[in-house]
Amino acid sequence: MLTPFACFFLALVGNPVLLPSDVLSFADTQDSRIYWQLRFPRTLLAIIAGGGLALSGAVFQAIFRNPLATPYTLGVASGASFGATLHITLFGYSSVFILGLNTISWAAFGGAVISMLIVYSLAQLRNAPPEQMLLAGVVANFFFSSLIVFMQYIADSSGVLRIVRWTMGGLDFPGYEELIQLTPFVLIISALTYVFARELNVLATGVERAYSIGISVERCHRFLFFATSLLVAAIVSICGPIGFVGLMVPHICRLLTGPDHSVLLIASFIVGGLFLAICDTAARTLFSVGELPVGILTGMLGAPFFLWLLFKR
């Protein structure tokens, strides 16, 4: 099942048939510079970000045993958005670079980590089961969303426009800098998560069965929760919140590959990357008003899918 996905993956990235010969030969022409400096790294960034979001969605749906769980359910995206919003309100878009990342991205990452720690602490206070962590995530989501609205209220008009634009999500970065920063983080955490594929198969059927065969449920939940939350935090801190990828893609892959997470995680990563790359290409080319932020397009696709899934279940 994965062979067609892998072929499509390579075809989308390289796309040698549709490229002019001067692009393939790396000639110093305008078409070549546009492709290798703008389109190619942007497509790779979409594949890495979409793959990480989809894999995180598959993990969350397994550990929480909830088909509607997404990487953003636990308030990670709203926490990151608040961090970026706070920076934009206080300092505007002016930022300095620390370890290759601008301070807006660091503020977004910090906000996501704070949200993650709040949700985990709330769950630990009551010894809540993993499923009830979703409720703590909803609370954190509403809390940070309210803070974002407050930041918009006190910001000036240009700040409001910048905040709204950031919260739409996007992949419009020239060059390879963001891709180089994000790729190792996503690949390493994705590989570490894949090690728990067998445990995810058991956890998806219930914690009682996991306990009965000797799996350390608390350890698995803790590691997978923090690993996937940090993965989402890193993606959102660079690309902004791009919703519904982690909801739609795992369900599509289950229909194609079945529920075995040793296959599902790989399929989710590949299909998620392809899905976001295709959505980004459509957002750049299909609308006459100009380039549409990809987060808007995924939201337009995700809402009907969410309703279909809700009524189907």
- Residue 202 CB partners (closer than 8 Å, separation 6+): 209, 210, 213, 215
Percent of the chain with pLDDT over 70: 84
Residue 32, pLDDT score: 72
pLDDT at 14 over 80: no
- Residue 78 CB partners (closer than 8 Å, separation 6+): 72, 115, 140, 141, 144, 145, 148, 241
In this prediction, residues 127-153 reach a mean pLDDT of: 82
Lowest mean pLDDT of 7-11, 101-105, 268-272, 304-308, name the range. 7-11
Residue 140, pLDDT score: 87
In this prediction, residues 277-304 reach a mean pLDDT of: 83
Lowest mean pLDDT of 9-18, 110-119, 239-248, name the range. 9-18
DSSP assignments along the chain, one per residue: -HHHHHHHHHHHHH-TTTS-HHHHTT-SSHHHHHIIIIIHHHHHHHHHHHHHHHHHHHHHHHHTT-TT--TTTTSHHHHHHHHHHHHHHHHTT---EETTEEHHHHHHHHHHHHHHHHHHHHHHHTT--HHHHHHHHHHHHHHHHHHHHHHHHHS-HHHHHHHHHHHT------SSHHHHHHHHHHHHHHHHHHTTHHHHHHHTT-HHHHHHTT--HHHHHHHHHHHHHHHHHHHHHHH----SHHHHHHHHHHHHH-S-HHHHHHHHHHHHHHHHHHHHHHHHHS-TTSPPPHHHHHHHHHHHHHHHHHHH-
CATH code (residue 273): 1.10.3470.10
In this prediction, residues 181-207 reach a mean pLDDT of: 89
Residue 51, pLDDT score: 94
Q: How confident is the model at residue 16 (pLDDT cuts 50, 70, 90)?
A: very low
pLDDT at 287 over 80: no
Could you tell me the pTM of the whole model? Answer: 0.86
Tell me which residue range forms the domain holding 293.
2-312
Total domains in the fold of the chain: 1
In this prediction, residues 124-144 reach a mean pLDDT of: 78
Lowest mean pLDDT of 2-11, 200-209, 260-269, name the range. 2-11
The closest alpha carbon to 238, from 41, 17, 14, belongs to 41
Averaged pLDDT score across all residues of the chain = 81
In this prediction, residues 186-190 reach a mean pLDDT of: 94
Q: How confident is the model at residue 191 (pLDDT cuts 50, 70, 90)?
A: very high
Choose between 232 and 302: higher pLDDT. Answer: 232
pLDDT at 216 over 90: no
Q: How confident is the model at residue 177 (pLDDT cuts 50, 70, 90)?
A: confident
The closest alpha carbon to 309, from 66, 72, 132, 135, belongs to 66
